[in-house]
Structure 1
Amino acid sequence: MSTTETERADEDYLATESRRRILEAAERLIAVRGIEKVRLRDVAQEAGVSIGKIQHYFTNRDTLIEEMFKAASLRRVAEWATFAREMDDPTEQLVTLLNHAIKDRERCTVWLATTSFTSRNPQFLPDLSRIYDAWRATLVEVIETGERDGVFHPTGAVEDVADGIICVIDGLMTAVAIDLDGYTRERNDRMLRHMSGLLLGVSLEEAWLVE
């Protein structure tokens, strides 16, 4: 590689790294302060860059917020799918997916902000739909494998069962995000495994202990 090509590669890497830091900084701040209270200068300070650099990549605050929601959601969908691919047993796959669905408040807060933002900006609905489609595809694959192996006995069409589990996850994520009284981690886990088990015609009480 020539000196010019090396320099260009370094510049591309630094640009990508700076952009990633900015997006992650915005995500952290929104999780703590909410969308309305986060300003470009806050993100610049958190990311260790200038406001001008943020504007270079994202033009303005609204574009930054939009890109942050998209990047955070797609990253977490990819991570979630990875959990299922790390094992072969469908029960362990499902349990692992559920274990990671609502594991931290920051994730839940950002997701709630994402859905709220989309409700006010319907042009981003296709992006949100793709995220739901990715969740659904992962769950459907695991459920179909479990049904084929005789482990799961879905109480309805597989896609309907997957959507039902997603609805439970969504509801619990909202409760966690707003810190609703009584929704402890232990209770949320118990409700999620119980409702998922009902939809799948199987008890997940013992299986839940598998990591």
Structure 2
Amino acid sequence: MPKQVDHDERRRQIGDAVCRVIAARGLDAVSLRHVAAEAGVSMGRVQHYFATKDELLMFAFELISGRVAARFGSIVADDPAKHLRAILLELLPLNAAARAEAPVLAAFLAQAVVEPRLGAPLRQGNTEMVAWLAGMITAVRPGGDPERDAMALLAFVDGLMLQVLIGQVSQEAAVDLVDHQLASVLTCG
């Protein structure tokens, strides 16, 4: 009887290897050879599932974006302010999963500046996130300009993520800064 192959699982394994290569050495280090070595498979296996490096990178981007979204979906809080805080903190490299993903996300953000195919899904995701954050802000503090406040919070946390990654801001200081910024937004409308 022929062996059953889970092609989706093989693609995920290769996508995970791409993410590990990016996290360790950056986007420029992604090659079929490096990914195959990281995944413990042949280059032919990688090429079987991904015809080009761009295809490989887009799959890895979708994979990691899905994981971040799943973590967001698992956050439960008893009031909108706590939920908003938890989401903002989840965007920072404060736990093992976020620490593993943050360098990859940062690399994709930087690449999106020059690669329109990456920029489009990032813009769409950002638009959706701003709308969600604005709704949470409105639930806590009606009035003001919740969309502007949501955009500012998201930009703040994106920059803070980079500062934590390079060691400029400690994890503890990052949490304090998020609390400070969030308090300002939720009380000042």
TM over 0.5: yes
Task: Verify the 8 A CA contact 2:140 2:186 in the aligned structure 1.
Answer: no
In structure 2, the residue corresponding to 1:18 is in which secondary structure? helix
Give the corresponding residue for 1:170: 158
TM-score, L = length of structure 2: 0.85
Alpha-carbon distance between aligned partners in 2 of 1:48 and 1:136, rounded to the nearest angstrom: 39
Give the corresponding residue for 2:178: 192
Give the corresponding residue for 1:95: 85
Equivalenced residue count is 184
Q: Which runs of 5+ in 2 are unaligned?
A: none
Query: Match for 1:175: what amino acid?
Result: Q
Alpha-carbon distance between aligned partners in 2 of 1:135 and 1:126, rounded to the nearest angstrom: 14
Query: Match for 2:79: what amino acid?
Result: D
Q: Which runs of 5+ in 1 are unaligned?
A: 148-152, 203-211
Q: Tell me if 1:134 matches 2:128.
A: yes
Identity of aligned residues (%): 30
Question: Which runs of 4 or more aligned residues in structure 1 lie more than 3 Å from their structure 2 counterparts after TM superposition?
Answer: none
Alpha-carbon distance between aligned partners in 1 of 2:158 and 2:52, rounded to the nearest angstrom: 30
Task: Note closer, same or farther for the CA distance 1:123–1:95 as it changes in structure 2 (3 Å cut).
Answer: closer
TM-score, L = length of structure 1: 0.77
In structure 2, the residue corresponding to 1:120 is in which secondary structure? coil
Which one has the largest radius of gyration?
1
Query: Match for 1:80: what amino acid?
Result: F
Give the corresponding residue for 2:62: 70
In structure 1, the residue corresponding to 2:184 is in which secondary structure? helix
Give the corresponding residue for 2:139: 145
Task: Verify the 8 A CA contact 2:85 2:182 in the aligned structure 1.
Answer: no
Task: Note closer, same or farther for the CA distance 1:137–1:49 as it changes in structure 2 (3 Å cut).
Answer: farther
